[in-house]
């Protein structure tokens, strides 16, 4: 699998010339996150956006009964943050944890402002990313409210084609809002079709 760094991602998506990549690079911060470690915990304030260069993160919450609810997985070239915490200065209800050894690029407000100021195409691109994220969350809510477990699983495979091989089945079940036993049943039924 080819991994793209944030710099390569910008070059490929915004046509930023290599000369400007060095300027951007001076403002980038990278973090290696060991498997099981956290970038964010409930109650923290989130002020950064994380771009996954390599590895896999998950964003989840824990309800009052101690049950985990996975909101999203973030594999390579995905962004993850808690927008509510970062934009409204509220403590986060989420955890962002490395499912695998993960390398992330940390995008802070300074870098966002610099990119917007120097590269007008970045503002448009950033807005498109935000709208795409909102669209994906709306579709996910709709699936959770109205789709069968089988349809939710098929949609999961379409969005995350290789995640099932990278995470325990219980995490996939949590994302789908079903029990691991129900997920096994869905997979068995689909295999028999």
- What number of CA atoms fall less than 13 Å from residue 88's CA on the CB side? 7
pLDDT tens digit at each of 193 positions of the chain: 455 678 777 777 776 776 677 777 777 889 999 999 999 999 999 999 999 999 999 999 999 999 999 999 999 999 999 988 988 899 999 999 999 999 999 988 888 888 888 877 788 888 888 898 899 889 999 999 999 999 999 999 999 999 989 999 999 999 999 999 999 999 999 988 8
59 is a domain residue: yes
Q: Would you say 99 and 166 are in contact if contact means Cβ atoms under 8 Å apart?
A: yes
188 is a domain residue: no
12 is a domain residue: yes
Q: Would you say 57 and 81 are in contact if contact means Cβ atoms under 8 Å apart?
A: no
91 is a domain residue: yes
179 is a domain residue: no
Distance, in Å, from the CA atom of 40 to the CA atom of 92, rounded to the nearest integer, reads 8
18 is a domain residue: yes
- Residue 12 is part of which domain span? 6-119
Hey, what are 33's tokens? 């996150």
Total structural domains within the chain: 1
Q: Would you say 59 and 95 are in contact if contact means Cβ atoms under 8 Å apart?
A: yes
55: CATH = 2.60.120.10
């Amino acid at each position: 699998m080819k991994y793209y760094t944030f710099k390569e991602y910008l070059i490929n998506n915004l046509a930023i010339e290599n000369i400007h990549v060095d300027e951007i690079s001076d403002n980038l911060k990278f973090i290696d996150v060991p498997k099981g470690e956290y970038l964010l915990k409930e109650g923290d304030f989130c002020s950064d956006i994380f771009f996954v260069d390599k590895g896999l993160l998950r964003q989840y919450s824990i309800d009052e009964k101690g049950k985990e609810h996975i909101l999203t997985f973030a594999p390579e070239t995905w962004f993850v943050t808690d927008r509510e915490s970062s934009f409204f200065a509220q403590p986060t209800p989420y955890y962002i944890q490395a499912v695998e050894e993960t390398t992330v690029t940390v995008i802070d407000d300074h870098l966002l402002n610099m990119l917007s100021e120097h590269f007008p195409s970045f503002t448009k691109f950033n807005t498109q990313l935000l709208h795409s994220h909102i669209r994906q969350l709306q579709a996910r809510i709709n699936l959770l409210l109205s789709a069968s477990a089988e349809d939710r699983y098929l949609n999961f495979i379409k969005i995350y084609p290789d995640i099932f091989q990278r995470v325990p089945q219980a995490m996939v079940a949590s994302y789908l809002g079903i029990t691991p036993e129900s997920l096994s049943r869905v997979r068995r039924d689909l295999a028999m079709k």
